[in-house]
Every structure is written in C-alpha cells, then in structure tokens.
Structure 1
Amino acid sequence: MRGVVGGVVVAGVVAGCSTPPAPRAAPGPTLGPQVRPTPNRSSPAPDPTPDDKCPEGGVRLVETGGDAAMGLRVEGFQLVNCGTEPYVLEGYPEVSLRDGRNDPLDVTVVHGAEGITTGVPNIEAAPERVTLAPGQAASWSVVWRNLVTDATVTATTVPVLEIAPRPGAPRLWLRLARPFDLGNTGKLGIGPWAAVTR
C-alpha cells in the first residue's frame, strides 16, 4: 500500500501544475428535514416544550416509569409545578389517548382498576385535593392489560398521551418513551392525583 501511495505522489510531482488535483471525497449522507406526524385538525399537538421552559399552564407532565408482569402493565407520571403560583388539583386528570398521527384512539378510560385488576393502591385510592407549591409535584398512574382475546381485532398501541390536569387548563401532550400496548382490551384505568412526598 505504501508503494502505491508513493507512486501517486511522484506522478503528481512529475506532471507539475498541469495535472488537476485528485477529486475530493464525496460528502457523507445528510439528514433530510424531519417529518412530523400529521395532527388531528380538531386538537393539534403543540410543538414540544424545551425542558428549561415551563409550558403555558405552569405545569409539566413527566413520565416516571412503571412495571410489567404477566401482561399487566402499570405506568407512572408526575405533574410538576414549574410556574410561580400554587397549582390546585382535585380528582383525576382528563385523559385522551392518541396514535402516531395524534388522532384519538377508541379506548375506554376508567377511574380505578375495576375490570382490569385488583390490589393496585395508587390506582384504587380515593381522590383527594392536592395543592402544589412552585417546584412541587403530584403523581398519578395508569394500568392496563396487554391481552389479545380476538384475532380479528387489531391490537392497539398508544404512543401519545394528552391530558388536561384540571377543567379548563391548557392540555399537555407527551410522546411516551414506553407506549401503552393495550392488546385489544380497549381499556385503560387511571388513578387520582396524589401528592409527591420527598
């Protein structure tokens, strides 16, 4: 290989300036423009909010992780008060489940775990009033079964979560790191708001 390279260098020197320089290497592939999912016209998804900027409503939705065992799924979330005023929550968030194009999915959302499972305290707890000072957070959880009982019904996967933390509040959108794999159960159970104690 060194002999080949040396020959190329000598040839270039002998030819002088009359020989054009060797062509430059072709540029590598470049990333094209990012394609965003087409939002539902009635409820368009807003642009993602940077982590260092508080959303319009003064709160931020955060996915905290969950557990999966024998087809039963539990996933947790927190609502963080990133604003400057106290934020009052009561009862349950209003939840809408979306597909990859941000269109609504036909899934029944129920309060609690009835018809899904039993023995999940944070899902089956009684609702309570929670007041978040700036910097504080409230938690809530969801539960479902990844179960396919009818091969003729397409299994549902939920990649996007939309919630209203309280009536009349700006809605929050979150693209899930762990999409909900509902099978064809068509049901999701949600728990009430609970104060996060540190």
Structure 2
Amino acid sequence: MTRTTLLRPAITRTTRAAPYLSALAATALLLTACGTERAGVGGTGVGTAESTSRTQVADPGKDGVRVTSLTFPSPSPTPTRSDSIAADGLATDSGIVAAYEVVNKTTETLTYSVVITFMSADGGAMGNQTVTVRDVGPGKTVRGTVRAGELPPSTPQVTQAKVLEVTKVPSNEAPAAPGTCPASGVRVSADRGDAAMGLRVVGLHLDNCGTRDYTVDGYPLLELLDDDLKHVDGVKILDSTGAVTPGSADDKQQPGPVTLRPGESATASLVWRNTTEFGTPVNVPYVRVRAKDGADPVIVTPNLDLGTTGKLEVTSWQETEH
C-alpha cells in the first residue's frame, strides 16, 4: 500500500546553471516533513557543490504529471566535512533535484499528491519523495522541484527519475495543508496505516484547530470512491462490532459524544482484511469523510485493498489521550 504524503509550493522555473543554487534554496524552504503531507523532503541543502549539471528526462508521466529534468551537483574539488561523514557510512544529502510539471486537463481546480522515484541506470529505485501541489486550476500548468534527499554512500548512482504515483482530489475537498486551519475549524486527515498478517488499519484524525468546542457523536460518515471519484458499490461499511476483528479492543469501545476543545484531537480507524478468494478483488483509492452529519467533506487516499471480503469496518471517534 503506497502512502504516502497530502503548504502550497511556490513554483520557480530555472533554466540556467548559474542561478540554480538560489532557486533551490527557495524551494527548500517549502519542503515539509512526512505525515499528512510532504512536499519534496530531502536533506538540509546541496552540500558543497559549486556547480551543477542538468539532464533532460524522458518521463511519459501519469495523469498529466511528469518529470522534466534532473539536476546533479558537481563533485567538490577538495575534501569537505560532508565527504568525511559519507566516509563514516552515514547518509548525506545527495543534492539531486528533479523538476516536474503538473498539467490539469480537467474542468475543476485540483490538488495533487505526487510520488517521484529516483532510479539507478538499471531502473532500480534508490528513493521516493512525495510532493503536494495545491490548487491547480483548469487548463493550468504548474512547475516545481523536489529533492532526492539523503542517500547512503553505498547507493548506486542516480541517473533517472519518473512519476510513480499520482492522486488528485478537488481542492475544496482536499485535506488542509499542515499549519493551516479550514473555515470549519477542524482538520480531517488519514495516516499511512499499518498492515500485519492480512489485517489493515488506517487511522482517521480529527483536530480542532479552531477557537470553539467541536462535538462529534459516534462514527465518521464514509463514502468509498474509485479512481474517477465515483461511488463504489458492493462494499459494506460496518460500525465496529467485531465483524472484521472479533474480540479486538476496537469493537469494545462504546460510541458516544466526544467534545474537543481547541487544540484537542480525536481518532477513528478503518479496519479491513485483504483476503482474496472467489470473485474480483476490490481496491478503493479514495474515501470521502465527514466528521459528522452536516460536516464539510474531506477526501483522503488510504488505498483500501479490500480483496474479495466486501467489508470495511469503522470505529467510533475516541478522544486522543494527551
């Protein structure tokens, strides 16, 4: 299950090697850590490289997103501190940067989450990075960069990059950017989940980032969506009764009112098994979540590999322990 990570990147176009470092420094300020969203995570800088070289990339792309070029730092002519760290066997910032472009060919404003994989000459993946590109208008093209980040010294040389995965949702239903609070005063997001012995669990998170108390009662409201954001039929959404995980702690939780003061949070879980027997396996890339009846919808991307079970269990909202 690819997960991945949901601030709007300022896009800078660079066409010559000389101004590259200043453009990259500006881009680095916009990178966020892995979690609900992550925009081009990777290291603290380009190290000691004094010049760079750019290589065009023949990436066919996916869903209107493609990698256009790779920029590599030139080796330092003299030993540096970062060289000695690498000699100790620790990962150092590679200084490799991929340029990408996002073309919205639809008729609505979209927010994209893009996974870019950096590869060696033989096609082996050396590392993946995720970048979020917000509010791309209909017919618009947005360009940006993402860093390969830290790579162990033993990693084969990166020579190419491509778009590995693209998810896109209407911007008015996208999870809020880190550090921002929607007009509703609450943030809804999904984590990367956990999997063990065929059991899958993805956490839903509800954060009161507003200035007033916020009360939920019972279970989040869910709608399962396919790749085209259309309703998925044939899957039963079950309140936590132990139908998927008999005897678990989840099915013993009692649903009830939960009031969150500003700064407080609650969680619920999506639980399923990816058992595959007779029939056609069902995959659900998107879930539309409402914290309660009448709440604003938020589309998260847990990529539910439901197999042929036809069941998804949801637990009730429970206040997060502090």
| Fold shared by both chains (TM-score > 0.5) | yes
Q: Gapped runs of 5+ residues in structure 1?
A: 1-24, 40-44
State the secondary structure of the residue aligned to 2:102.
coil
Measured in 1, the distance between the counterparts of 2:283 and 2:187 equals: 23
1:46 equivalent in alignment to 2:170: yes
Residue type matched to 2:189 in 1? V
Q: In structure 2, what residue type is equivalent to 1:155?
A: P
The counterpart of 2:56, out of the listed 15, 28, 35, is: 28
SS of match in other structure, 2:304: strand
| Shift in alpha-carbon separation, 1:62–1:33, aligned structure 2, 3 A | closer
Gaps of 5+ in 2: 1-52, 58-67, 69-99, 109-168
Aligned-partner Cα distance in 2 for 1:74–1:190: 10
Residues 78-89 of structure 1: pairs in structure 2 closer than 5 A: 78-89=205-216
Q: Which residue of 1 aligns with 2:300?
A: 174
Q: After superposition, where does 1:44-193 map in structure 2 within 5 Å?
A: 45-47=169-171, 48=174, 49-106=176-233, 107-150=235-278, 153-176=279-302, 179-193=303-317
Q: Which has the higher contact order (CA 8 A, sep 6+)?
A: 1
Preserved CA contact (<8 Å) 1:124 1:191: no
Higher Cα radius of gyration: 1
CA 1:183 to 1:138, structure 2 compared with 1: closer, same or farther past 3 Å? same
Cα offset, 1:66, TM superposition: 3.6
Give the TM-score, by structure 1 length.
Answer: 0.73
C-alpha offsets along residues 82-120 of structure 1, whole Å, 9 cap, x if unaligned?
Answer: 111110010111111112221111221010144322122
Task: Give the whole-Å Cα distance in 2 for the aligned partners of 1:104 and 1:189.
Answer: 17
Distance 1:129 1:73 in 2: 26
Normalising by the residue count of structure 2, what TM-score does the alignment of the two structures yield? 0.47
Once residues 240 and 286 of structure 2 are traced to their aligned partners in structure 1, the CA distance between those partners, rounded to angstroms, is 21
Q: Within 2, Cα distance between the matches of 1:38 and 1:184? A: 34
Name the aligned partner's letter for residue 95 of structure 1.
L
CA distance in 2 between counterparts of 1:38 and 1:117 reads: 42
Q: Report the number of matched residues.
A: 166
Is the 1:71–1:146 contact (alpha carbons within 8 Å) kept by the matching residues of 2? yes
- Partners of 1:102 and 1:160 within 8 A in 2: yes
**Aligned-residue offset at 1:37:** 7.9
User: Is 1:123–1:142's contact at 8 Å kept on the other side of the alignment?
Assistant: no
Q: How far has the Cα of 1:181 moved from its partner?
A: 0.9
Residue type of the partner of 1:133?
A: R
Q: 1:129 to 1:37 in 2, by over 3 A?
A: farther
State the AA in 2 paired with 1:98. Answer: L
- Structure 1 vs Structure 2: percent identity of aligned residues? 35
Q: 8 Å contact 1:90–1:193 — kept in the other structure?
A: yes
Cα RMSD, aligned residues only: 2.6
Shift of 1:56: 3.3
SS in structure 2 of the partner of residue 33 of structure 1: strand
